[in-house]
Amino acid sequence: MEQNELTEYMNAAVRNLAVNVGSSNMREKLFLLAFRRFVGNAAGLRSASEEQGEHIPSFLIASITNSCNLFCKGCYARANGLCGETEKKLLTAGQWGSVFSQAQDMGVSFCLLAGGEPLMRRDVIEKAASYRRIVFPVFTNGTMIDDEYCRFFNAHRNIVPVMSIEGDREHTDGRRGNGTYDKLSAAAERLHRRGILWGASVTLTTENIDEVTSADFTDSLYKNGARVVFFIEYVPAVPGTEKLAPGEKERTLLEERQDVLRKRYKDMVLLAFPGDEKYLGGCLAGGRAFFHINPYGGAEPCPFSPHSDCNVAESSLKEVLNSPLFSALREHHLTGTEHSGGCALFEQEEQVRALASAVMQEDA
**pLDDT at residue 327, as a whole number:** 87
Structure pTM? 0.90
* 283/305 Cα distance (integer angstroms): 12
- For 221, the 3-state DSSP assignment is helix
Peptide bond into 116 cis (omega under 30): yes
Number of other residues whose CB lies within 10 A of the CB of residue 74: 18
Alpha carbon of residue 263 to chain centroid: 23
pLDDT given for residue 364 in this prediction: 56
The pLDDT score that the predictor gives to residue 336 is: 63
Is the CB of residue 339 less than 8 Å from the CB of residue 282?
yes
Give pairs for 255-261: CB < 8 Å, separation 24+.
Answer: 257/213, 257/214, 258/213, 258/231, 259/1, 260/215, 261/213, 261/215, 261/218
Query: To 10 degrees, what angle do helices 26-51 and 93-106 make?
Result: 70
Dihedral-angle region of residue 121 (phi above 0 means left; psi in -120 to 50 means alpha; beta otherwise): beta
Low-confidence ranges of the chain (pLDDT < 50): 1-4, 6
What gap in Å lies between CA 79 and CA 303, rounded to an integer? 11
Which residues fall within 8 angstroms of residue 307, CB to CB, at 6 or more apart?
300, 301, 325, 352, 353, 356
Q: Let me know: does 299 contact 323? Beta carbons within 8 Å.
A: yes
What pLDDT sits at residue 3? 44
pLDDT score of 283: 77
Q: What are phi and psi of 265, to 5 degrees?
A: -110, 90
For 33, the 3-state DSSP assignment is helix
| CA distance linking residue 306 with residue 198, whole number of Å | 28
Q: What is the structure's pLDDT at 343?
A: 75
CB 241 within 8 A of CB 74: yes
